[in-house]
Chains A and B, each alone.
Chain A
Amino acid sequence: MSKFKKNDGKKAPGINTSSLPDIVFMLLFFFMVATTTKEIDPMVKVRPATGIGMTDLTPFKQRSEVDFVYLGQPLKGDVDKFEKGIAVQYDGILHKDGIRHIGKWKQDKFATKPAEYTAPREETMTCFKADEQVPMGILFEAREILGDASFYTIGYAASEKPNNKGYNIRTQ
């Protein structure tokens, strides 16, 4: 004589999932807008330097006006094979000539891009994504080569510094 009827035999009503695609599409669009495509898998270890007030490179990327060079210790293989233990990654390869290859690489990159998509030669940026412990000598060598080939715009990549933390400078 319970007050609660046992509704035996009857199934629980199914949840209406017809709006599920809408929700998932919403998520999809959010991610499509909020993210950018990955360039390439890194072959060198890059712990980014930190700073404030950098230029956002997204518009440059959209106009394909920027080429990235990665500098750091190689993730795989022998560190000693590279000069000063720093490997330089151009697109998918670690070149054996290290930084001295940059002129030729940049020249090839510039030549293969269709002319209507790129900025004039001196405005196409070469962005150095260097590990925080990469010595500056290498970058200045690259600067000189690029300057001689009249690619005058460069970028020093860094990530946004958290407000409550200092710069991650190695002290000795």
Chain B
Amino acid sequence: MAKREAPEINAGSMADIAFLLLIFFLVTTTMDKDTAYARKIPKKVEVIDPEPVQKKNIYKISINNKQNIQARDSIIKPEDIEQLNSRIKHYYLINREKLEDRNVDYPYYSMVTKAFIDQRIAEAYNKQENYEKLLETDSKYEKFIEQMDNEIAEWNRKKRILDLYTKASGKKEMPEIAFQAHVRLESFIDTDYSAYVAVQSEVEKAVTEMRDEEAQELFGITYTSMRQYYQTNLLEKTPKVQEYKDKMDLIELLFPLRIIEVKPKR
């Protein structure tokens, strides 16, 4: 018996089907990316007797309802907003790695060493022991013990970061900006969103540029590309993701982006 060939399927309408799908996707999707400045709302913490913030540690930028910007003592017109970039860099960098002969109007740096951290950890352990003794008399000390635990964990984290810094740069001392140093953003109730975002943009840009430069020097890769990789692959727990996270932690410690957004009063 002769073999019967299977009849060929007519693929002529395949193109039509594909076009249909294509047009469907064209209509239901958009090209534009969603981008935003991610910020944190500060948690409410009750502190009794907070330490006053020194004036040199504040970089105050205020934007009024006419979109004029005041950065510390200078007035910047909206069209000159790009000046903010160099001003913020100046604020971060002027006292960097200087221990004497510092400019008194800008945040100081301290040089973190291993001995210093070890000393702090030892102190924290001592304090904790004391609290544990006091716990027998009063249960309110439980909170303090927990606080000390956090502090020890924080110092240990810093120790690991310092190790990474020493490994990358060969230096035994790590410059760290005063922990109070921050950019303070004030606006009016009727300040435009675009002006506010523009200032955020300039601050972010200045800090990112400094971070990129530092990361390039230390690791040969920019902070931006590490962050990009980290955010896309966050859920996979590969060694590379962890490595980037550690490196980013170091860079973020060297150039912290602390923006305090103040609720407008008028």
Of residues 118 to 172 in A, which have CB atoms within 8 Å of B's CB atoms? 125, 127, 130-137, 139-140, 143-144, 146-147, 150-161, 166-172
**Number of cross-chain contacts by CB at 8 Å:** 207
- CA gap between A168 and B196 in the complex, in Å: 11
Note all chain A residues with C-beta closer than 8 A to B81: 166-167, 169
Q: Are B192 and A170 in contact (CB under 8 A)?
A: yes
With A21-B14, A55-B36, A158-B36 known as contacts, the answer to whether A136 contacts B193 (CB < 8 A) is yes
Residues of B within 8 A of A161 (CB): 201
In-complex Cβ contact of A132 among B36, B39, B78, B192 (8 A): B192
Q: Is A3 an interface residue (CB 8 A)?
A: no
- Tell me the complex Cα distance, A166–B81, Å: 9
Stretch with Cβ within 8 A of A (4 or more), from B129-137, B161-169, B183-191: B183-191
Chain A contact residues: helix, strand, loop or mixed: mixed
- Chain A, interface residues (CB within 8 Å), range: 35 or more
Q: CB of A52 within 8 A of chain B?
A: yes
B214 to chain A, nearest CB (A): 16
The yes or no answer to A94 lying at the interface (CB within 8 A) is: no
Cβ-based interface call for B231 (8 A): yes
B138 interfacial contact with A, CB 8 Å = no
**Known A-B contacts A63-B235, A136-B188, A170-B192; A24 and B15 likewise in contact (beta carbons under 8 Å):** yes
Q: Which residues of A contact B204 (CB under 8 A)?
A: 51-54
User: B41–A167 contact, CB under 8 A?
Assistant: no
Asked whether B28 lies within 8 Å of A158 as measured between CB atoms, the reply is no
The answer to whether A136 touches B189, judged by C-beta atoms less than 8 angstroms apart, is yes
A55-B231, A58-B34, A134-B192 given; A37·B28 CB < 8 A: yes
Docked pose: A132 CA to B67 CA in angstroms: 12
A35-B29 in contact given A24-B18, A157-B34 (Cβ < 8 Å): yes
- B200 contacts A by Cβ under 8 Å: yes
- Residues of B whose CB lies within 8 Å of any CB of A are 11-12, 14-15, 17-19, 21-22, 25-26, 28-44, 66-67, 77-79, 81-82, 187-198, 200-201, 204-205, 208, 224, 228, 231-232, 234-235, 261, 263-264
The 7 closest A-B pairs by CB, nearest first: A51-B201, A137-B189, A155-B36, A132-B194, A35-B29, A54-B35, A24-B18
